[in-house]
Every structure is written in structure tokens, then in C-alpha cells.
Amino acid sequence: MMMSGQAMKNEMAALQAKTSRFGNEAVEVFLSEAERAKVMADAAVKLQELFDVLQIDHRNDHNMRDTPARVAKMYVEEILRGRFVPPPAITEFDNVEQCDQLIVTGPIEVRSTCAHHLMPIYGECYIGIVPAPDGKIIGLSKYDRLVDYFSSRFQIQEELVKQIERHIVEATAPRGLAVRISAVHMCKTHRGIRASHDARMITTTYYGCMAQDRDLKAEFLQECVGLQR
């Protein structure tokens, strides 16, 4: 039985209400596979309209005939995946040996998209953790997964480091944490001033004892330099 036009509009409005949030936030309720498929289909139609406005004959251009569907799928399943699905499950371990020294991991690949011009951001993330004796330790690969998850949204780098920090603090209650990202912004290298790809932006956020202890900050930054080699 075909759905009436009004019923289709009502369903679309309900889905829109369920999903509309800021570009670097997760949707209110995570989407099922069927709901993500509908978002992809709706986005493909809008991309076709955009190409029409730009006077691109995507219907007959053999290079672009399927581009709207491809791009819609790329946005939902890859570039914005961190909005529509839950965060990765974190494997937690008790801090049995009561480790309270600085742990640093990196470089972790960052692949994100600038919220201002929808251009790629790419670079590296470094994370420093000072566990609490009664806190939790998580599996090392989970830091990579968390960085990838929060990067898979329309982002600005200043907020990306804070989102990563907030999630790790809530999950593990460390004594201290540092999150540092060094990245190239293609909204600067491929438009506007067209800067060199050597031009990077660095953002760092510190929590707990990492924010208060100068020696710990210095140790973290020194380890970041060592991990770059």
C-alpha cells in the first residue's frame, strides 16, 4: 500500500525532528539502518537539486550520473557517521596496579570536515592520560576509535579536542588528561589564501592535574615530539 503524500510529509517531519542537532553533535536518537537509508535517499534528491542550480547535467553526464547517491552515502556512512550511530564501546579495565603516571598515545590519525566550508581537516591527535588509582584504564585502540568517532562530524578543531576530552573523562575519571591535535585545514589550503600544506593549527585541552602541573604539561609535550619521529 502506497503512503499518501501527507503521510510521507509527516514521516519526514518526524525523522527531521528526531535528527536535527548542531553539526558536531550526535542526533537526539541514533538512527537504525533503515532510517539512515532514508536519510541517504532524501539527501541524494537535494544533491540533485544543488547540481541543477549549479547547471550541471548530472542526468546525462556519464561522470556524475550516480554522484548524488554516492555523495549522500559518503556523508551518512562516513563523513558524518559520528552523528548517527552510538560511540564505540569502551573496554574498561580496573587500575589494579594503581598506575598514576603519565601515559601518552599517538599519533592518532584525524580525518574530519570543517563546519565552515565543508572542506577536509587532516592531521594527528595525541592523548595523555594520568589514571586515577581508583579509576579505569581503557584499551589502547579505543582512543583511536574515539578520535575517529568525534572527527566524523562537521567540526571546528577547538571543539573537537573538548568533545574527545569530555568523553574520556566521563568514561574513565582520570586524575589528568591532555588532548592535542595538529592538523591541516583544506579550507585554508584550497581556497582563500591557498596556504601551504605545511601550515597547521594546533589545539590542546588540559584537564585535572594536567591543567595544573607545569612539569606534567612539559612531559606530555616532550612525548608528543618524540612520537612524531
- Rounded to two decimals, the pTM is 0.88
CATH code of the domain containing 75: 1.10.286.10
pLDDT given at position 7:
67
pLDDT given at position 155:
98
pLDDT at 1 over 60: no
Q: Express each pLDDT in 33-56 by its tens digit.
A: 999 999 999 999 999 999 999 999
Measured between alpha carbons, how far is 177 from 168 in angstroms, rounded to an integer? 8
Residues 6+ away with beta carbon under 8 Å from 48: 58, 68
**b/e for 129-161, b at 16 or more Cβ within 10 A?**
bbbbeebbbbeeebbbbbbbbbbbbbbbbebbb
Quick one: 121 and 160 in the same domain? yes
| Residues paired with residue 218 on neighbouring β-strands, in sequence order | none
Quick one: 77 and 96 in the same domain? no
pLDDT given at position 3:
56
Measured between alpha carbons, how far is 188 from 222 in angstroms, rounded to an integer? 28
In a domain, 69, yes or no: yes
Q: Express each pLDDT in 99-134 by its tens digit.
A: 789 999 999 999 999 999 999 999 999 999 999 888
Measured between alpha carbons, how far is 123 from 110 in angstroms, rounded to an integer? 5
Amino acid 14 reads A
Task: Supply the mean pLDDT for the chain.
Answer: 91
Residues 6+ away with beta carbon under 8 Å from 149: 81, 82, 87, 88
Quick one: 69 and 163 in the same domain? no
